[in-house]
């Protein structure tokens, strides 16, 4: 691997606190670009604007999705901005590249009744898996936190008198999240059901390590089946969306949601306004006399 690529990836870890999966993605993207540049006789850190443009065109020719191409472009831009800032090159060859146009997709949603069904199914499970499932679902739905944030929670994060906790999210940025009584009680019950030697609220088979994402995803799918919900519709991220959309439906404002979800930019949470707009449109189409071709439409 190119030494400057190594330095860039190290910067992501040290300065931005990037997660392991993020580092792996950037490494793969830049390695792919490096091979493309090498075929044109250029080093990855010395590639010119034509090579960057040709690389992006090659992604389109291969039929990669706009979202995948956008991720590759993001990796290229951040890498070359790093080189520019470090004085490793005098220009940014990606500055004139156009970002692929991404289709705006609405997040998958669960209704409040479906979330209630998931919580009820978790409460019916016995033993350690039941305590894990109930605590995880209660906390995810009460806080909207990411699954990585959930599984990294320390054992002492919850107590009977604690009303809020500080979560360390992406880029090691901290935010304050209020705790519901049910989430707090479910966490305390989980503490009693798991190994006291673990420093994690959600310990894995090895108490020295947290529960893995794979193990948690499998448990969540099992709870979804118990609740009579298609497992493909349920994930930690879907519960994060449910938290946000249900809060918005009950009167929360976008700025508050931005803070609770830990987004740096309010535009990231504006997708939920589209969710509500789509919901209102369906209500009008279902119930308005004109939309249904009812009596008012006939009289016209």
Look at the block and give the residue holding tokens 């997660």: 19
Give 66's contacts (C-beta < 8 A, 6+ positions apart): 100, 101, 102, 103
Q: Phi then psi for 177, rounded to 5 degrees?
A: -125, 125
Residue spans of alpha helices (H) in 62-110: 66-85
The catalytic residues are 146, 170, 237, 240, 263, 272
Give 10's contacts (C-beta < 8 A, 6+ positions apart): none
Residue spans of alpha helices (H) in the chain: 3-16, 20-39, 49-61, 66-85, 112-124, 127-143, 147-151, 181-193, 213-226, 236-249, 254-261, 271-287, 295-299
Look at the block and give the residue holding tokens 């799918």: 221
């Amino acid at each position: 691997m190119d030494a400057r690529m190594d330095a860039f990836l190290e910067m992501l870890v040290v300065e931005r606190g990037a997660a392991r999966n993020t580092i792996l993605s950037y490494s793969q993207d830049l390695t792919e670009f490096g091979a493309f540049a090498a075929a044109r006789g250029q080093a990855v850190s010395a590639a010119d604007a034509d090579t960057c443009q040709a690389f992006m065109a090659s992604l389109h020719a291969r039929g990669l999705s706009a979202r995948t191409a956008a991720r590759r472009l993001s990796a290229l831009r951040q890498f070359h901005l790093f080189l520019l800032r470090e004085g490793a090159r005098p220009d940014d060859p990606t500055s004139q590249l156009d970002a692929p146009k991404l289709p705006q997709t609405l997040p998958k949603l669960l209704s409040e009744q479906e979330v209630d069904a998931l919580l009820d199914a978790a409460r019916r499970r016995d033993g350690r898996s039941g305590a894990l499932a109930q605590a995880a679902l209660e906390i995810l739905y009460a806080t909207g936190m990411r699954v990585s944030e959930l599984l990294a929670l320390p054992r002492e994060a919850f107590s009977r008198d604690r009303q809020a906790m500080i979560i360390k999210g992406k880029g090691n940025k901290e935010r304050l999240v209020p705790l519901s009584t049910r989430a707090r009680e479910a966490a305390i019950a989980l503490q009693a059901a798991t190994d006291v030697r673990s420093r994690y609220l959600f310990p894995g088979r090895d108490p020295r390590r947290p529960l893995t994402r794979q193990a948690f995803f499998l448990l969540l799918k099992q709870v979804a089946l118990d609740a009579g919900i298609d497992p493909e519709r349920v994930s930690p991220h879907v519960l994060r969306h449910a938290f946000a959309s249900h809060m918005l439906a009950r009167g929360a404002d976008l700025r508050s949601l931005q803070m609770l979800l830990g987004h740096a930019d309010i535009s990231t949470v504006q997708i939920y306004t589209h969710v509500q707009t789509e919901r209102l449109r369906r209500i009008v189409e279902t119930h308005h006399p004109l939309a249904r071709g009812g009596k008012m439409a006939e009289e016209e």
